[in-house]
Structure 1
Amino acid sequence: MGQFLLVDSRKLDGFEGLHQAVHGSHVDVMQLGRGRLRGTLSHIGIDDFSLSIGAFNVGMRTQRVSSDDKLIIGMLLAAEDRVAHWSFDMQLNDVLVIPPLLEHDGVFHGASAYAAMRFDLAEVTSLFGGEAQLSDPDTWRSRGHFRADLQTGAIASRRLVRIMSHLRTCNGSLTPSTSDFWKRSIVECMAANVMSSLPPDDEGWLPSARRLIRRVEDYLDETGTRPVHVSEICAALGVSRRTLHRAFQEVFGLGPVSFLRHKRLCAVHSILRDCAPGSTTVAAVAMQQGFYELGRFSQYYLAMFGERPSQTLGVSPLQTAGESIANA
């Protein structure tokens, strides 16, 4: 009996599409770079095993809550700027291990591409058979970063893309033997980089900065949806504005003011995208998120997403103009 093959490829139009960055696992995302996000996202699934390959054109922050009981192993395929996951500074073709039930935090400072496979930890022994250390499930229970060999990594990266391209042309199902072959072929690409690397690098860059930012985000979660000023954060956490600024610059390449503004802009974008025209106004949503100078808000929004907020909401320019005249 054949095994069902899931194939799903789509173009990305907005950062929200990256909520499904890894097939079967929800990822929280926030746009950091300016411009309208464009990209592609492809998934192939063979029963509970999946491979996802995504590419996008602006900086992103990704987080994944600790509710997923699957092992995720990823590879950085391309990056125009710095990429960091947790405290690991990534280079091209490096491999990242995200164990089951562990929170994940990543920052892409520019256009990037990645591959990620997701499967049950119980499959490790069979899929990595022949390599004693890799076939031990305990090897994958801790987060890890494996530095890729330049030559081996480039070959593995190209092979993953070719495998995805090939499987996208298949229809419907695979035989048990071909299913096993393709899963092993995908795993082998990741394993090649792991085996050629040094042991996992547990020493990351600026862990203290990341710890401070985690405290900031915990505080923001506690405050709910209301806008929060930087001075309030400094007072609440007992840190200077200079310390806070340095931490955000090192981790995100943005100051805390810009980061908070980007976060609020992303919230506005998601709300407008989900609302039907006529159910709310741009001004109402913007003010709910703390943007009181609507002219400046519109400039920020256009620079960030490459479109006006009324376009996201689906309101025509004529309707917007009519509302402005009516309210004058």
Structure 2
Amino acid sequence: MGQFLLVDSRKLDGFEGLRQAVHGSHVDVMQLGRGRLRGTLSHIGIDDFSLSIGTFNVGMRTQRVSSDDKLIIGMLLAAEDRVAHWSFDMQLNDVLVIPPLLEHDGVFHGASAYAAMRFDINEVASLFGGEPRLSDPDTWRSRGHFRADLETGAIASRSLVRIMSHLRTQKSGLTRSTADFWKRSIVECIAANVMSSLPTDDNGSLPSTRRLIRRAEEYLDEAGTRPVHVSEVCAALGVARRTLHRAFHEVFGLGPVSFLRHKRLCAVHSILQQSAPGSTTVAAVAMEQGFYELGRFSRYYLAMFGERPSQTLGVATLHTAGNDTASA
């Protein structure tokens, strides 16, 4: 399983450590502020996709040469002073796009934190599927700067940090299906932030609601018990997320995100209920279904089923033990 997840996390002691500020991409770094640079640098690699989060305590100048053929999309997580990329003055949670083979110049005037994802631009169509303005590779071929919405940006920032924190603890790695889910979860944080800065694009046209829901459910049935991200459904059906949300809310009274969460909760329940004693743990099953905050997962589960996941697993264990006794 581990081949789908690479983890690298270390403390920084000197500006040289930031030369790999984005996983797989060399950056020339010069320290601007006084004092010894301290900080942290974490990378998550999922196949050729990576998420990097860095923090540092003094001003820095970063330059990236045009030798990298990957797309980099970054977000400013924290800054105590001015941050400028090219001619853009960044504000908290703003999104920055560095296209393939483009030189980049950034200046951090004080302690800062950032997140950056790096991947092949040809993956844009699948990872941003369902959002026509984001799923076209040409959208990302020129440098860009997206001003964050205060609320959406704060949510995106917290989510990226939580995802990074969670995946760093997954010593057993990821399966192929969960690897895709986590890539989409990371991209979703950035996508939601970018979309909030764009003008509303609502044509008012809604395909037959029942037909759309049926197609979505058929896709989910084919996926089986693996976790499915809402962006994957949008890409498969060729619809915008706004359209899918309206359809699901009209039929179920739930948005597609809530519907998919309920579906994943049901999958966890069924797996726990059918598990043999000692064969698995609640945490392992929750992770396989895309839940990375166990506290929040437990609250969802309790509200949904009226019992804790450990109770479901315990009942399964008792049933299995009872069957073994009867067989004996």
Q: Identify the residue that residue 119 of structure 1 maps to in structure 2.
A: 119
Matched, 1:148 2:148: yes
Q: Identify the residue that residue 77 of structure 1 maps to in structure 2.
A: 77
- The code of the aligned residue for 2:12 comes to L
1:169 aligned counterpart, secondary structure: coil
Q: Identify the residue that residue 87 of structure 1 maps to in structure 2.
A: 87
CA contact (8 A) 1:3 1:176 kept: no
Q: What are the equivalent positions in structure 2 for 1:245-260 lying under 5 Å apart?
A: none
- The code of the aligned residue for 1:127 comes to L
TM-score by length of 1: 0.60
- The code of the aligned residue for 1:15 comes to F
CA contact (8 A) 1:2 1:176 kept: no
2:134 aligned counterpart, secondary structure: coil
1:174 aligned counterpart, secondary structure: coil
- The code of the aligned residue for 1:112 comes to S
Q: Identify the residue that residue 221 of structure 1 maps to in structure 2.
A: none
- 1:139 & 1:91 partners in 2: Cα distance? 22
Matched, 1:66 2:66: yes
- The code of the aligned residue for 1:137 comes to P
Cα RMSD of the aligned pairs, angstroms, is 1.1
Q: What are the equivalent positions in structure 2 for 1:1-328 lying under 5 Å apart?
A: 3-198=3-198
Q: Identify the residue that residue 236 of structure 1 maps to in structure 2.
A: none
2:5 aligned counterpart, secondary structure: strand
Shift of 1:172: 4.2
- 2:140 & 2:64 partners in 1: Cα distance? 17
- 1:143 & 1:24 partners in 2: Cα distance? 19
1:173 aligned counterpart, secondary structure: coil
- 1:185 & 1:13 partners in 2: Cα distance? 31
2:100 aligned counterpart, secondary structure: coil
CA contact (8 A) 1:6 1:172 kept: no
Shift of 1:198: 4.1
1:10–1:2 CA distance, 2 compared to 1 (3 A): closer
- 1:6 & 1:131 partners in 2: Cα distance? 29
Shift of 1:133: 1.1
2:76 aligned counterpart, secondary structure: strand
- The code of the aligned residue for 1:187 comes to V
2:114 aligned counterpart, secondary structure: strand
Note the residue ranges of structure 1 that are not aligned, 5 or more in a row: 200-328
- The code of the aligned residue for 2:42 comes to S
Shift of 1:2: 6.5
- 1:84 & 1:142 partners in 2: Cα distance? 17
Q: Deviations over 1:234-263 (max 9, x none)?
A: xxxxxxxxxxxxxxxxxxxxxxxxxxxxxx
1:76–1:177 CA distance, 2 compared to 1 (3 A): same
CA contact (8 A) 2:4 2:179 kept: no
2:16 aligned counterpart, secondary structure: helix
1:161 aligned counterpart, secondary structure: helix
CA contact (8 A) 1:44 1:164 kept: yes
Shift of 1:117: 0.2
- 2:125 & 2:100 partners in 1: Cα distance? 16
Percent of counterpart pairs with the same letter?
A: 92
- 1:157 & 1:173 partners in 2: Cα distance? 24
The number of residues matched between the two structures is 199
- 1:55 & 1:2 partners in 2: Cα distance? 27
- The code of the aligned residue for 1:24 comes to G
- 1:173 & 1:38 partners in 2: Cα distance? 29
CA contact (8 A) 1:4 1:172 kept: no
2:54 aligned counterpart, secondary structure: strand
CA contact (8 A) 1:3 1:179 kept: no
Q: Whose relative contact order is higher, 1 or 2, with alpha carbons under 8 Å and at least 6 apart?
A: 1
Structure 1 outlier segments of 4+, above 2 Å:
1-4
2:132 aligned counterpart, secondary structure: coil
1:9 aligned counterpart, secondary structure: strand
Q: Deviations over 1:151-184 (max 9, x none)?
A: 0000000000000000000024311110011000
Shift of 1:48: 0.4
1:41–1:2 CA distance, 2 compared to 1 (3 A): closer
CA contact (8 A) 1:4 1:46 kept: yes
TM-score by length of 2: 0.60
1:2–1:33 CA distance, 2 compared to 1 (3 A): closer
- 1:194 & 1:135 partners in 2: Cα distance? 12
- 1:2 & 1:19 partners in 2: Cα distance? 26
- 2:130 & 2:119 partners in 1: Cα distance? 19
CA contact (8 A) 2:4 2:176 kept: no
Shift of 1:4: 2.3
- 2:182 & 2:97 partners in 1: Cα distance? 20
